Amino acid sequence: KRVEACEAWRVLALLTGAGGAPLAGAMCSNTQNFSAALRTALAEWAAEEDCACIDTESDSNFWRVWMISLCAAAFFSLVITVPMCFQSMQGSKAGLDDDAELEVNKQKTTIEAPQPDRKAACEHLRQTSVSVNGKWRPICGTSIGDMAVIGGPGMALYFRLLRDLGMVFIYMGALCCANIAFNTSGNFAPDNGQFLAKTTIGNIGSVLKHGANLAPSERYVVVKHSSGCQGTPVTKLTTIIGWLDFVSMVMFLVFLALFRFVIIPRIVKQTDEEDIMTKDYAVEIDNLPRKFDGMEIKDSSGRTAYEAELSQLICERVEFMRKKEGKRSAAQSDTTPVKVEEIVLVRDLGGKLTDIRALAEKEQQLDIAKYTEDIEEELWLEKKIGKIRADLNKEMAPLDELPVVRAYAILSTSMDSTRLLADYRFFTYKLVRMLCGPCCAHRKCFKGHAIRIRRAPGPSNIIWENQDLPWWNRSLRRFIIWLIFILVVIMSFVLVFSATTAAKSTDSPNDVLSGAESCDPISGASTGSEDAYRCIQSNATEWSMDFLETSASDMEKACYCDVVGYSAIFQDANLYNGICHAEVLKMAKKIGITIGATGIVVVINVVSKLLLNVLAETERPWSYSSLNSSKMVKIFALQTLNTAFVVFCVNYAPPDGVPLGSVIFLGDYHDSVRSWYSVVGAAILTNMLANAVTPAATNLSTLIISKVMRCLCARRQQHQALLLKLYTNPEFDMAVRFAQLLTTVFVTLAYSAGMPMLYLFAACYMMFTFWTDKILLLRGSQRPPQYDAMMAKDATQTMLYSIPIHCIFAIWMFGQSCTFPSAPLGGVLADYATRGMDQVNQAAAAGMTDVTATVNGTSYSMNDIGMAAANGVAERVTKEATWMFFLFLVLLVAIWVLWTLMWVLGGTIGEVFVACSALCCPTDLSKVAPTDEDGNASKGPRWVPWEKARVKIEQVSPPASYKMEAHPAFMDVKDYLGETLKVGSLKIEAEDPKSCRDWLCSFTDGMFDSCRHLTRCCRGCCCPWRKPPSRAPSDTE
State the pLDDT confidence band at 437, using cuts at 50, 70 and 90.
low
pLDDT in tens, 211-226: 556 677 778 888 877 6
CA distance 177 to 233: 19
Residues 902-930 as b or e (16 or more Cβ within 10 Å = b)? eeeeeeeeeeeeebeeeeeeebebeebbe
CA distance 223 to 772: 40
- Amino acid letter for position 570: F
CA distance 430 to 436: 10
- Per-residue H/E/C for 976-991: HHHHHCCHHHCCCCCC
E strand spans, 328-387 = 340-347
Which of the 8 DSSP states describes residue 641? I
Q: Which residues pair with 411 in a beta bridge?
A: 340
Q: Which residues pair with 1033 in a beta bridge?
A: none
Q: Provide the pLDDT for residue 493.
A: 79
Which of the 8 DSSP states describes residue 903? H
Which distant-in-sequence residues (6+ apart) come within 8 Å of 725 by Cβ? 972
CA distance 462 to 786: 9
Residues 305-333 as b or e (16 or more Cβ within 10 Å = b)? bbbbbbbebbbebbeebbebbeeebebee
> In the Cβ-directed half-sphere of 420, how many Cα atoms lie within 13 Å?
32
Mean pLDDT score, 603-609: 79
* The pLDDT of residue 798 is above 50: yes
Q: Provide the pLDDT for residue 247.
A: 93
- Choose the weakest-confidence range: 322-331, 611-620, 643-652, 920-929: 920-929
pLDDT in tens, 162-194: 999 998 998 898 888 888 888 888 888 777 767
Counting residues of the chain whose pLDDT is more than 90, the rounded percentage is: 18
- Per-residue H/E/C for 416-485: HHHHHHHHCHHHHCHHHHHHHCCCCCCCCCECCECCEEEECCCHHHECHHHCCCCHHHHHHHHHHHHHHH
Residues 113-147 as b or e (16 or more Cβ within 10 Å = b)? ebebbeebbeebbbbbbbbbeeeebeeeebbbbbb
Quick count: other Cβ atoms within 10 Å of Cβ 63? 11
- Choose the weakest-confidence range: 40-54, 627-641, 843-857, 983-997: 983-997
Q: Provide the pLDDT for residue 251.
A: 93
End-to-end CA distance of the chain: 96
pLDDT in tens, 690-739: 888 888 898 889 899 999 999 888 888 888 888 888 998 998 988 889 99
Which distant-in-sequence residues (6+ apart) come within 8 Å of 788 by Cβ? 152, 153, 154, 268, 457, 458, 461, 623, 625
Which H or E element spans position 849?
none
State the pLDDT confidence band at 942, using cuts at 50, 70 and 90.
low
Contact 702, 730 (CB under 8 A): yes
- Amino acid letter for position 569: I
Which range among 575-584, 633-642, 861-870, 968-977 has the greatest average pLDDT?
A: 633-642
CA distance 442 to 384: 51
C-alpha torsion sign, points 661, 665, 666, 667: negative
Q: Provide the pLDDT for residue 884.
A: 92
Contact 774, 159 (CB under 8 A): yes
Inter-CA distances, 708 with 197, 712, 726, Å: 41, 6, 11
Closest CA to 1024 of 713, 724, 723: 713
* The pLDDT of residue 272 is above 70: yes
H-state helical runs in 506-553: 537-540, 545-550
pLDDT in tens, 457-514: 889 889 988 888 888 888 888 899 889 888 888 888 788 777 777 766 655 555 677 6
For the chain, counts of helices (H) and of strands (E): 38, 13
CA distance 410 to 57: 78
CA distance 360 to 400: 19
Closest CA to 2 of 54, 35, 44: 44
Contact 297, 897 (CB under 8 A): no
Inter-CA distances, 148 with 490, 523, 627, Å: 38, 58, 19
Of residues 77 and 294, more confidence is placed in 294
* The pLDDT of residue 773 is above 90: yes
State the pLDDT confidence band at 914, using cuts at 50, 70 and 90.
low
- The answer to pTM > 0.85 is no
Contact 468, 348 (CB under 8 A): yes
- Choose the weakest-confidence range: 143-152, 870-879, 884-893: 870-879
| Mean pLDDT, the chain, integer | 76
Contact 742, 795 (CB under 8 A): yes
Quick count: other Cβ atoms within 10 Å of Cβ 96? 14
3-state secondary structure of 299: coil
State the pLDDT confidence band at 205, using cuts at 50, 70 and 90.
confident
Q: Provide the pLDDT for residue 746.
A: 94
